[in-house]
Amino acid sequence: MKAVLHYRASEGFQAELARQAAGAGVETAIVDETDDAAFAREFADAEVMLHVLKPVTAHMMDQAPRLKLIQKLGVGVNTIDLASARERGIAVANMPGVNSQAVAEMTLALMLAVLRRVTYFDPLVRAGDGWRPDLAVLDTVGEIAGRTVGFVGYGEVPKRLAPALQALGAQVIYTARAEKPDAVGRFCELGEVVERADILSLHIPLTEDTRGVIDGLALWRMKRGAILINTARGELVDQQALCEALTAGQLGGAGLDVFNGEPVDPADPLLGLPNVVLAPHVAWLTPETLARSLVVAFDNCRRLRDGVPLLNQVV
């Protein structure tokens, strides 16, 4: 069985892939997402695709007539043409929970970085001016304690974060498709969470129903000076409206790991805003997450080979 990882993998990731693949008896190839020629060559006889972020299209599927499984290394499958996979009899599986710890920690990091203006002070210190900051900036920093954190969605990431935020002194509220009996925090409708949160954090999948859920109207219903955190999917937010709200001072800041278009256009005005902390869709990306992900992926390779049900099959 051959599996192709379509990703620009680090040396550490390559070593972990080789180790786990050997244990599973799976031949592997690693192809940078930008190298179309190498991908076409390696993918032609692949039975499994290890998918990360670059969209998987019907055309790509047709390049691999032996393909039986598209294994998402993560949770969101919005980057896979599910209808085309279904038509071709190709299974699609994901792995809920494997990256929750990493995303939870990154979400907290973004909250703190925005509140404490880390990206303002770090370069200032490096330039030798750290002890002479703009005094107006000092009036814009803050603490999590005493603030209301609102979660849109209450899955594995908020489950980890809510107790920690409460321990730090925050009030937690959340909205979800249904109230969670074991949730830390108070259930509210979406509108109330948007209006009451000092920090609004997004944790829902991208679907046609959730696309643009945080639009211009929602942004202007938020508290003046509130903070938006997004480690879910960029398309949940109207990015132009977000930029306008940040520029106008309606929002005090934002911490973003995901964007409407990735990689981000260097001309995007978001990149020039001093009250935004940015990361390149790496909230999930730790060596620990990758190791856990490969355990699930190669378990599914064995299951595919042995003809038994796959873990977390979506299609």
Q: Catalytic site residues?
A: 233, 262, 281
Q: Residue 119: which of 285, 270, 220 has the closest Cα? A: 270
What lies within 8 Å, CB to CB, of 29 at 6+ separation is: 2, 3, 4, 5, 42, 46
Task: Determine the Cα–Cα distance for residues 190 and 177; give it in Å rounded to an integer.
Answer: 10
Task: Determine the Cα–Cα distance for residues 143 and 146; give it in Å rounded to an integer.
Answer: 8
Cβ contacts of 61-66, under 8 Å, gap ≥ 24: 61/85, 61/88, 61/90, 62/88, 63/39
Output the CA angle 278-99-52, nearest 5 degrees. 75
Residue with tokens 């679907």: 207
